[in-house]
Amino acid sequence: MSIRRILQLGDPLLRTISAEVAHPARATPVWHDLRDTLHEFQRVNGFGRGISAVQIGFAERIVYIEFQGTAYCLINPHWEYMSEETFELWDDCFSFPNLLVRLERSRAVRLRYVDEQGSRGRIEATGALSELLQHEMDHLDGILAVDRALPGNSFATREEWERRYRVSHANEPGRGASASNA
């Protein structure tokens, strides 16, 4: 398939609410492009776990994630549950790769979706996968991490975050010693 350009902060398409995919089989070229674009981003930048279709110019409800050795193609995902219990983290995004944002996410989530074969699925997640799903689902609704910034000193360049926060946030729930790396 194709490696696509990732839309950057300021592109108005990133604020679009993505449309439902009428026929999951028609999503195949898009999720293949998502996979290829994710792999290229990982090759160039050394990190990355997920990407939404709107980030490569398709305002459709499609997300591609690779997390702990498992690949997920989520077509028409919808929330079933988001816990009231939350945690704070530094989040980043392919659409603004040198900016990190301190924000809050639900600790546990559950969503339903259709996969690339057209089968219905459900994911329950906590910690890092929960955060990643929330980040990508926000993209489908035109919401960016910068919109969820906590009050105060909630923005840092990647270089400054590495210098100041990398070690001190190594024990965040689901985080390890890194930022989100969506």
Question: With bands split at pLDDT 50, 70 and 90, how would you rate the model's confidence at 40?
Answer: very high
Q: Tokens 């969503």 belong to which residue?
A: 111
Q: What whole-number percentage of the chain has pLDDT above 90?
A: 84
Residue 118 has pLDDT above 70, yes or no: yes
Are residues 81 and 142 in contact, defined by beta-carbon separation less than 8 angstroms? no
Q: What does DSSP assign to residue 77?
A: E
- Segment holding 128, helix H or strand E: helix 127-140
pLDDT of residue 144: 98
Q: Which residues pair with 105 in a beta bridge?
A: 87
Whether residue 79 is predicted with pLDDT greater than 70 in this model: the reply is: yes
Task: Dump pLDDT digits (tens) for 137-153.
Answer: 999 999 999 999 999 99
pLDDT at 65 over 60: yes
Report which DSSP code applies to 117: T
Q: Distance between CA 72 and CA 65 in Å, rounded?
A: 5
- Residue 153: count other Cβ atoms within 10 Å of its Cβ: 8
**Mean pLDDT of the chain, nearest integer:** 91
pLDDT on residue 181:
56
Q: 23-27, 43-47, 103-107, 162-166 — which is least confidently predicted?
A: 162-166
Q: Is 172 a catalytic residue?
A: no
The confidence score (pLDDT) of residue 175 equals 37
16: tokens are 């679009």
According to the model, what pLDDT value does residue 168 have?
58
**Per-residue confidence (pLDDT) for residue 113, from 0 to 100:** 98
Q: Does domain 12-164 have CATH number 3.10.20.310?
A: no
Given a cut of 70, whether residue 178 has pLDDT beyond it is no
Q: For residues 79-102, give the mean pLDDT.
A: 96
- In percent, the amount of the chain with pLDDT more than 70 equals 91
Segment 146-162 shows an average pLDDT of: 94
Of 60, 116, 131, 136, the catalytic one is: 136
